[in-house]
Structure 1
């Protein structure tokens, strides 16, 4: 058993050695032993390739404006581990992590002796979140973000009041499948009988898979550009403005502070969810709560401007779709600026496509590496690049410091790639900016 926070965290992280073990048998076993906390929680399940965290944030902010207590389960963390389980946006306390780890540890030890085998890191953290919101700190609603895929993800132990699938991209193809159709099938696994499904999926083949699953489950289906739509979108210096039409009403001049068309789509999913909460689940969320909640929503590492003079941006574009969204936004907002990009990535991504898109807009590109089991070597990224002004460094701190200290006021510095990398780089950058 654990007496300190560090002991608990070390044990949780030690489970990374088990990797990914798809399936719900271990979760079902633990839920039985914990007296089924998942049955005591009202939840919304959010899956998709990109945009899960932002969609959770928009929805949480709106619900908080309406006076609701909202739990969230998200991954990965950005600044501290405790963020993964939060109450009204505030990470749970260190002593609560210790308490939850001590509740799960004996179950993990017992599971090790069964044919199911021990739980993975993500299964342990999921069980901790369910225990917390089910037995320790009940709330009005919990927003559960899928870890990987959907059908066999450990979060799929819940029975939500509705599900959201943000989008479909070709990520984690070795586990989820090589095509949009296969990946959509995995993500559609979170759709439950009779519970509404909201999605912003664009590919026709993926959309059809999700709609077919909704029909099979007799689940009401709401898809962006079909059942609800975005109109009159324009960008501002501080974000985006748009209008949204739904089956229930028209929302004019909505504002968000996170940049990009993709962020409007994420916000539109939250609005659609709010309308269903009002109409079918007796929530009392007023129009003003929606407008204020969206405007004040913030999620770290999503086209986040760390410094303005000169402009320094961090963005967790960790797959091909994320890089595409980042590149589009950079071209729209900084087309006439000289741009330096610092990039680090995990080795299991489609790196050639990602780097090709960054090469196209970078006046200078620097590849770095960081201490993480699946992190790519900087030199391997460098070899893939075709940019004429490319560099690599094994010491990401030295590379960042050099660029921060030598740029002119007119240059743009973009630090992007793995969220695991950005979680280390952001505090380092903030410390430099304060000097």
Structure 2
């Protein structure tokens, strides 16, 4: 009885129909392409000898193909590649239904100039049989079986691989459609998240602008308007020339206050002298005691910030302004540095100080103003798609990383503009 059972089991193992049914059974319930291919590898090996097995699927336009491998891992599955460079491009272009070779390493159909045939040479995949996988008459990819042994496959092998491809095709077509739907859902979710982030950023910026407008209004009301009212009264009572001189001096002070408010609202220094010089002037104004503070502004980009679009440049300037103000007025720093550099297609701006940080104990009564300033810096960075980081170890360090467009060097555009103007 045991001998009969063993004979019956061996007959089932060599029966192609039984193996095909088992392949269908293994595929049931699979939700990922590579896992599905792994699940049927053993059954395929029962039908023909293989050293390498892969499924190559093409996109809807037939331009790109993606390879899923089991067993040997080659560069074919590292990333999608152009169909035009595939050794089986004629199958993927729906020109032929199969290819077979006893030594693909020397077969010009597989190894030709421009072909991605490196895995064939590296792993010595001599015997190859490649069969189109079709759904509703359209080629969706190919099933590819290879062996290091030359002249191993024949017409009988080809038929078996065709039967396997017919079984696999609808399953893999469905799995690929599911994968694309999942990727599309992820892309949509990311787009919605970005849109919501921009919406929140715009809302926060509107709030910041409203606060800025209120601050300017209060400055004008509490200082400039009060000064003008006092000057008007002084003029009404002025009799002696010295009184008139005092009024003129007060008017000059009032004009200076107006200039300060205007410079705060619109960074004219930035427009006139450029990013690095404007920051250096602001640093000196913010510190007050210049002799007792070490100040350093360095630009390793050859004026790259000034070649950015005005909105981005002003946002970076405002971030640096806020960081400098916090260092000088709230952190008690006596060493403040600003550095602008290019790194990995990014512009990096770092504001560092040796102060006591921006926590509640350091900020004292101005805690809300400091934390609000940090929030404003984050918002400005978000709106120009820059990365913002703040660390407080051995002082405070604010770092902004701005991704640059293709080319990575804004000074190139600036030089081209200057040449065109000349």
Q: TM-score range by the shorter chain?
A: under 0.3
Structure 2 length-normalised TM = 0.21
Could you say which structure has the greater relative contact order, defined with CA pairs below 8 angstroms and 6 or more residues apart? 1
**Greater Rg by CA:** 2
